[in-house]
């Protein structure tokens, strides 16, 4: 039958079947010790399924103040199962005690707890240790708690159990009419100090969901003899249920005649984008009244509130609230609050009279009773109330409202089974700057049956464009609604689809029925679009359509739906949109596109990848919108520009193009647009119509070429990139961490190979920096006699070879003289020394001239010359960038200095290209303006005709300055500086093997390619037909 512990008196060494405590039976108990009524000394072990306890020491409950002197270890203590705590919480801890007492008021001694582990459904929290010390009595009593989560101390005489009654007694001092149950409270004469260092573990015990970040300090003083109760505090940041309050200051104090409490906060974040700043709440309690002042924001802000009120208490438990002169500003407009407002509380009812909020002709009024009596009515009235007043709130969901509201809403039985009846009319309703029409609504709600009846109409220019009738059963969570649209504005659907598309424009007509459960309603009918326009959020591409779709059992069927981009290019969509999960519709869509805008994002939309792209190919959208897969198998078209900033210093001008931000960069940019769950797979065929810009620590590589690239991007932003990019032409802006700015031309045939991580690409290319340089300094540095023509500035190329890792390439420099290779041969012995070669190469790059070595120029002159040349080139590079930004497709102008410039013109859809240049051969520096004399000025003209559109066969006619080879060939020409005219054909073809080369020459390669594409298309059409047949078969079986 068991034995009551308080009657037990014997030595025990053995197993106990169970112990009952607090309505829980502990099993598997081992005891070795002495029981003497309420005294125990020994060891105790419990191996219960809900707790494991090891206890060693003594507990004496016989004295008035029990004595505890033991050590204990608790593991896996499930407090809810043990009926010790209402929420699920598991605790591990070690205890060491040496104290007497049964509560914090009388405890004497020490209590230490360490290695504390709290485990609940939200996580695991640890506390290193808690040490409690209590000593002394009366005014000399002190109690301290030290821990890694908080420090607290109380000094003086206190009775924590009766503090609430003390506060009630204080309140009655200032509100004599207050009826409150006040028990006799003990002497309160103490000071306390609380410093919260880490609140998270405490919150799990005291207030789950409440978060306090950084720090919180509370200081108080209580003196019941002099009716003193003061509280001061500071909380850095407090969060609860999505609301964040910053820098809270609490100041409460009492005097002989009043109690004053002030609470301030410099910012209250209501959600991610809506906040209130500078909140100040001040209360003064005295003479049976409460003076209230609430200030929100500064006096010069667009939205602010300075509300003054007075609450008067009466002996019959009633209270009356009066609104005193106050200020309310919304969108820089002042609203008046009627000073005759009265709010009375009496016998469980709240009466509101004369509440009128007005601004000019518009007003919002509230009159009536709030109670549980169905006869009592609360009337909310609108008169010319402009909806734009709500825009500061609705802009967070992407909604901009306009229109004037008139009418009333009747509310009955608000405190019980509420009933609502609308009689509302909105004139000139506009959503997101699109005119909708006049909306009338007489819908109602009955709280007793928990059902709503919908009756809504929209008239546009005298025509009924929307008609919605039906009912909502909130208990059964069912809907029965019919919606008829007649050339309605598409924008009315934006609040419901803004997670997928935005900027809705145009008109829509439909007849739809919506029946079934809220979670999975059955939608049937038709939808017809008329000049509709939408922007796809994922891609930021704007499309228009005028077509009709069917909705069958909540599935939208797209059959050859024609979509047009902003440039008038079209794509055809087929597939389905499954609305059975209305929150995350399922997509199964294939889009066949030709020269179609596929991407138009910026860094503001998504920091992982962004840009503008045109493509021809197939686009697949599959899966629910929260786990959407986008597959693209396409060829890029003209107008596509790729930017891959593999460093963190990409320029602002590159932000409008496709960019992939490397996960290896030191700065991680948080995505500003949520793409959680989105995965993408790209198979891109790139040709020279597209430009690739790659940013490295050395500068920007910009090229046109050919590539077959595969990109895999997951929802976390990680992606892999594979493929070879073969460069046909391009430039390398050598910036060297923005120290200098030099533009190189990339030689044809360079390559970049990706095998996974985009930043680990392998590079193999050569870039040429071309200029005209005076040879005299070079001959001086080489200790050679100057030649007769050394005073002229001759064409000079600095070749930079880049190989190895893209971000850390190996660099090899070389110098050549394209019009006179004999110069290099003449100075070969000097250039054979790598130090000499690198010295002259860097001098040409930085100073645009050869270095004289230890000869003529001193260091100061060389530095001045270098700075001047670099500044001049930087100036002209920026000027050329401005010309490029004008997007003049038919012309490309490049001014290198005051004495050299060239231009390229394109005609007949880029089939004829004219290149022309001019240079002053006798100028001594970049700052020397061109001298237009016959002997000084050199010019060159080149005409290229693309006989084949792909550029594989080109005819060339040129008139250029002579090279060393042309001088040797034309030995009879008297003027050695005269231009040489040439005519020729150029054939260019890429191939992997000689067999492929022969196939491309004969045209067989292209025929085989077209045959393969036709076979693939036929295969896809067959699969589509089979799929449609299966769907029809399933449909017929259902019938």
% of the chain beyond a pLDDT of 70: 80
- Per residue in 901-920, pLDDT (tens digit) is 666 677 777 778 777 766 65
Query: Does position 1037 have pLDDT exceeding 70, yes or no?
Result: no
CA distance 914 to 906: 6
Of residues 342 and 622, the one with the higher pLDDT is 622
Residues 6+ apart with CB under 8 A from 608: 660, 661, 671, 675, 713, 717
Burial of 464 (0-12, 13-18, 19+ CB in 10 A): middle
Please, what is the end-to-end C-alpha distance for the chain in angstroms? 70
If 0-12 CB within 10 Å is exposed, 13-18 middle and 19+ buried, where does residue 508 land? buried
Separation of alpha carbons 457 and 903, rounded Å: 64
Helices (H), 485-641: 494-497
Name which residue leads in pLDDT, 27 or 580.
27
Instruction: Say how far apart CA 420 and CA 300 lie, in whole Å.
Output: 39
Q: Model's pTM, two decimal places?
A: 0.56
Q: Which residue has the tokens 């022309």?
A: 916
Say which DSSP state 184 is in: P
**910 three-state secondary structure:** coil
Q: What tokens were used for 509?
A: 């007509």
- What is the number of helices (H) and of strands (E) in the chain? 12, 58
Contact 248, 196 (CB under 8 A): no
Judge whether residue 152 has pLDDT over 90.
yes
DSSP 757-819: SGGG-EEEEEEEEEEEEESHHHHHHTT-PPPTTTTSEEEEEEEEEEEEESSSEEEEEEEE-TT
- pLDDT tens per residue, range 249-274: 999 998 878 889 999 998 888 776 66
Question: Is the pLDDT assigned to residue 435 strictly greater than 80?
Answer: yes
Query: Which pLDDT score is estimated for 453?
Result: 93
pLDDT at residue number 116: 92
Task: Judge whether residue 219 has pLDDT over 90.
Answer: yes
Express each pLDDT in 64-105 by its tens digit: 889 999 999 999 999 999 998 888 889 999 999 999 988 888
Buried b (16+ CB within 10 A) or exposed e, 233-262: bebebbeeeeebbbebebebebeeeebeee
Q: Give the tens place of pLDDT for each residue, 295-352.
A: 887 666 777 888 888 888 876 556 788 888 787 887 788 888 877 778 887 777 888 8
Predicted local confidence at residue 337, as pLDDT: 82
Give the pLDDT score at 30.
93
User: 303-332 in b/e burial notation, b at 16+ Cβ within 10 A?
Assistant: ebbbbbbebebeeeeebbbbbeebebbbee
Q: What is the CA radius of gyration of the chain?
A: 42
Structure tokens belonging to residue 35: 């029981």
Q: What is the structure's pLDDT at 68? A: 92
Average pLDDT value for the chain: 80
The per-residue pLDDT for range 495-529, each reduced to its tens digit, is 767 777 888 888 889 999 999 888 888 989 998 99
Query: pLDDT tens digits for 355-395?
Result: 888 888 899 999 998 888 888 899 999 999 998 888 877 77
**DSSP strand pairing (953-960 vs 937-946):** antiparallel
């Amino acid at each position: 039958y068991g034995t009551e512990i308080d009657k037990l008196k014997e030595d025990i060494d053995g197993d106990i079947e169970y112990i009952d405590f607090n309505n829980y039976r502990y099993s598997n108990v081992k005891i070795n010790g002495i029981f003497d009524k309420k005294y125990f000394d020994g060891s105790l072990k419990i191996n219960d399924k809900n707790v494991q306890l090891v206890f060693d020491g003594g507990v004496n409950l016989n004295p008035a103040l029990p004595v505890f002197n033991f050590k204990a270890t608790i593991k896996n203590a499930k407090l809810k199962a043990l009926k010790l705590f209402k929420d699920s919480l598991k605790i591990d801890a070690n205890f060491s005690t040496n104290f007497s007492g049964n509560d914090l008021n009388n405890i004497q001694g020490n209590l230490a707890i360490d290695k504390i582990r709290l485990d609940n459904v939200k996580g695991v929290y640890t506390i290193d240790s808690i040490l409690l010390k209590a000593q002394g009595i009366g005014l000399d009593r002190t109690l301290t708690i030290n821990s890694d989560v908080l420090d607290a101390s109380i000094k003086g005489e206190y009775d924590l159990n009766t503090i609430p009654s003390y506060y009630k007694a204080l309140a009655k001092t200032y509100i004599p009419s207050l009826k409150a149950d006040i028990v006799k409270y003990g002497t309160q004469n103490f000071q306390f100090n609380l410093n919260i260092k880490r609140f998270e573990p405490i919150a799990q015990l005291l207030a789950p969901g409440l978060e306090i970040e950084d720090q919180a300090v509370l200081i108080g003083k209580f003196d019941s003899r002099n009716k003193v109760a003061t509280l001061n505090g500071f909380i850095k940041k407090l969060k609860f249920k999505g609301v964040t309050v910053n820098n809270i200051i609490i100041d409460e104090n009492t005097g002989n005649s009043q109690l004053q409490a002030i609470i301030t906060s410099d910012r209250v974040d209501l959600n991610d984008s809506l906040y209130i700043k500078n909140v100040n709440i001040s209360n003064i309690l005295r003479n049976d009244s409460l003076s209230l002042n609430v200030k929100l924001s500064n006096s010069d802000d667009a939205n602010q509130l300075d509300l003054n009120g007075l609450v008067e208490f009466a002996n019959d438990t009633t209270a009356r609230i009066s609104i005193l002169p106050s200020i309310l500003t919304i969108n820089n407009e002042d609203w008046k609050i009627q000073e005759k407002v009265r709010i009375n509380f009496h016998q469980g009812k709240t009466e509101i009279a004369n509440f009128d909020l007005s601004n000019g002709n518009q007003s919002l009024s509230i009159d009536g009773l709030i109670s549980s009596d169905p006869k009592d009515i609360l009337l909310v009235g609108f008169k010319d109330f402009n909806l734009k007043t709500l825009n500061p709130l609705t802009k967070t969901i992407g909604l901009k409202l306009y229109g004037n509201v008139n009418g009333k809403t009747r509310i009955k039985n608000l405190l019980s089974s509420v009933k609502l009846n609308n009689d509302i009319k909105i004139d000139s309703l506009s959503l997101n700057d699109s005119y909708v029409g006049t909306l009338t609504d007489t819908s109602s709600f009955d709280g007793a049956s928990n059902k709503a009846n919908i009756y809504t109409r929209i008239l546009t220019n005298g025509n009924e464009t929307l008609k919605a009738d039906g009912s909502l059963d909130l208990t059964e969570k069912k809907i029965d609604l019919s919606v008829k649209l007649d050339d309605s504005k598409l924008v009315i659907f934006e609040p419901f689809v803004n997670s997928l598309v935005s900027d809705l424009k145009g008109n829509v007509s439909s007849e739809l029925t919506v029946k079934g459960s809220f979670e999975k309603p059955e939608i049937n009918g038709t939808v017809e679009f008329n000049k509709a326009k939408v922007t796809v959020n994922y891609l930021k591409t704007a499309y228009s359509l005028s077509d009709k779709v069917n909705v069958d059992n909540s599935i939208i069927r797209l059959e050859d739906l024609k979509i047009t981009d902003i440039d008038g290019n079209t794509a055809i969509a087929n597939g389905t949109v499954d609305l059975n999960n209305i929150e995350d519709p399922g997509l199964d869509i294939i889009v066949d596109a030709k020269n179609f805008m596929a991407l138009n994002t910026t860094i503001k939309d998504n920091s992982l990848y962004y840009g503008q792209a045109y493509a021809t190919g197939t686009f697949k959208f599959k899966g629910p919108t929260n786990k959407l897969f986008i597959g693209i198998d396409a060829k890029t078209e003209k107008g596509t520009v790729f930017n891959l900033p593999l460093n963190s210093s990409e320029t602002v001008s590159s932000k409008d193009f496709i960019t992939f931000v490397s996960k290896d960069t030191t700065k991680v940019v948080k995505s500003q647009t949520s793409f959680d769950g989105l995965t993408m797979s790209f198979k891109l065929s790139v040709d020279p119509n597209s430009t690739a810009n790659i940013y490295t620590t050395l500068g920007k590589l910009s090229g046109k070429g050919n590539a077959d690239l595969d990109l895999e991007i997951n929802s976390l932003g990680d992606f892999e990139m594979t493929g070879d990019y073969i460069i046909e032409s391009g430039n390398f802006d050598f910036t060297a961490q923005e120290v200098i700015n030099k533009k190189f031309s990339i030689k044809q045939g360079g390559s970049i190979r990706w095998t996974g991580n985009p930043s680990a690409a392998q590079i193999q290319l050569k870039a040429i920096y071309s200029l005209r340089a005076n040879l005299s300094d070079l001959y001086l540095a080489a200790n050679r006699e100057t030649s007769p023509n050394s005073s002229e500035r001759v064409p000079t190329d600095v070749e930079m070879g880049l190989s190895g890792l893209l971000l850390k390439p190996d660099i090899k420099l070389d110098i050549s003289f394209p019009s006179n290779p004999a110069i290099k041969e003449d100075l070969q012995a000097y250039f054979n020394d790598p130090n000499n070669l690198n010295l002259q190469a860097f001098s040409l790059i930085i100073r645009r001239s050869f270095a004289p070595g230890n000869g003529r120029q001193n260091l100061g002159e060389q530095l001045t010359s270098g700075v001047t040349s670099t500044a001049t080139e930087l100036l002209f590079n920026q000027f050329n960038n401005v010309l490029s930004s004008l997007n003049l497709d038919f012309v490309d102008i490049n001014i290198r200095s005051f004495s050299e410039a060239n231009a390229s013109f394109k005609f007949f859809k880029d089939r004829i290209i004219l290149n022309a240049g001019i240079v002053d051969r006798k100028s001594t520096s970049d700052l020397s303006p061109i001298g237009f004399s016959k002997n000084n000025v050199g010019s060159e003209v080149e005409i290229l005709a693309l006989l084949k559109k792909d550029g594989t066969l080109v005819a060339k006619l040129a008139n250029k300055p002579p090279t060393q080879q042309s001088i040797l060939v034309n030995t009879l020409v008297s003027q050695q500086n005269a231009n040489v005219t040439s005519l020729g054909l150029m054939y260019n073809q890429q191939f992997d093997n000689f067999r492929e080369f022969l196939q491309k020459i004969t045209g067989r390669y292209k025929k085989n390619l077209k045959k393969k594409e036709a076979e693939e298309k036929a295969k896809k059409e067959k699969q589509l037909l089979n799929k449609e047949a299966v769907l029809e078969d399933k449909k017929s079986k259902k019938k």
